[in-house]
Amino acid sequence: MNSTDEMKSDPANTRCGFVALIGAPNAGKSTLTNALVGAKVSIVSRKVQTTRMLVRGIAIKDVAQIIFVDTPGIFSPKRRLERAMVTSAWGGAGDADAVAFILDARKGVDEEAEAILNGLPQLKQPVFLVLNKVDVVDPPKLLKLAEDLNKIFAFQETFMVSALTQSGVDKVLRELSEKMPLGPWLYPEDQVSDAPLRMLAAEITREKLFERLHDELPYRSTVETDEWKVMRDGSVRIEQTIFVERETQRMIVLGKGGQTIKTIGELARKDIGEEIENKVHLFLHVKVRENWADDPARYREMGLEFPKE
């Protein structure tokens, strides 16, 4: 055993805590969560509002286990689902030991970021600033941004990272690990996510919907895993339902001659197979459920609280 191993086996020396990543939609929270954890635990897309619920990714740095809580982007919500998403994001922040505010440094402080900045003083936890996407921002602009933001709010520390290239990510991990409270680890050492596989599989298919469909459609659909059967040969048979709100939307998801759903299914099957390290047979069904976004059952499935109105 090396010295780190010895220290890890003694709970008096270990650290463990939760760090919530909050920020505007598309800031790169999920990409950063995956980079910090070193595995894909949360789905990513070029579109805003990809993440809909709290996604926990577990990282280990020296004697610390850090549970990163990826959250839905915070914006001004209108629909019920949007309100549930934003509520869960602030809730995730409120429950964590520390909060990281992720800002797209290329965008700078826009209206959305400003609204979040105004909410930060309500948090009792230490808040760290993470300027993301530094791979596409000039250093002088970055420094000015960091300076301006630290005048607006007393951040514990400022990090500059690229979640995409992983530049600066290890430093975040190192510094946060030292700030986690002393205590025993909550998860086994090799665990990176606490989400059930069926949930992860549904998220992967939803990621493909976000990749392949456009305009309103990604926001008018949701995915659930209905069946998960391990076959005699070790492969897994997965059935999923994609809910949409209109027949016209169903037709678009299916595509001409079923081509769109076929492509989505192939992409999802491949990624799910890689995640669970097994052969996957994936069956996708598309159902019209006009009011799925007003149905408490859908929120339960996502682990979201159902807003009364």
Ligand X SMILES: Nc1nc2c(ncn2[C@@H]2O[C@H](COP(=O)(O)OP(=O)(O)OP(=O)(O)O)[C@@H](O)[C@H]2O)c(=O)[nH]1
Binding site for Mg ion (CB under 5 A): 29-30, 50-51
241 binds, among Mg ion, ligand X, none (CB under 5 to 8 A by kind): none
# of chain residues touching ligand X (CB under 6 A): 24
CB of 287 to ligand X, least distance (A): 25
CA distance 94 to 72: 14
Q: Which is nearer to ligand X, 53 or 149 (CB)?
A: 53
- Asked if residue 48 binds ligand X (CB under 6 A), the reply is yes
Site string for ligand X, 15-34 (x = CB under 6 A): --------x-xxxxxxx---
Beta-bridge partners for 243? 222, 287
- Asked if residue 44 binds ligand X (CB under 6 A), the reply is yes
CA distance 309 to 307: 5
- Asked if residue 115 binds ligand X (CB under 6 A), the reply is no
- Asked if residue 88 binds ligand X (CB under 6 A), the reply is no
Tokens of 285: 């069904």
CB of 29 to Mg ion, least distance (A): 5
Q: Which is nearer to ligand X, 104 or 275 (CB)?
A: 104
Contact 86, 77 (CB under 8 A): yes
Residue 242 CA neighbour count, 13 Å, CB half: 33
CB of 178 to ligand X, least distance (A): 24
Contact 20, 93 (CB under 8 A): yes
- Asked if residue 113 binds ligand X (CB under 6 A), the reply is no
- Only segment of 120-128, 131-139, 179-187, 255-263 that touches ligand X (CB under 6 A): 131-139
- Asked if residue 51 binds ligand X (CB under 6 A), the reply is yes
Residue 178 CA neighbour count, 13 Å, CB half: 6
Tokens of 305: 């609280």
Q: Tell which residue, 90, 94, 120, 97, has the closest CA to residue 304.
A: 90
CA distance 120 to 88: 15
Tokens of 90: 């602030």
Strand order, beta sheet including 280-288: 222-230, 236-244, 280-288
CB of 155 to ligand X, least distance (A): 18
Angle in degrees, CA 206, 170, 126, rounded to 5: 85
132 binds, among Mg ion, ligand X, none (CB under 5 to 8 A by kind): ligand X
- Only segment of 3-11, 111-119, 156-164, 238-246 that touches ligand X (CB under 6 A): 156-164
The residues binding ligand X (CB under 6 A) are 23, 25-31, 44-46, 48-51, 72-73, 132-133, 135-136, 162-164
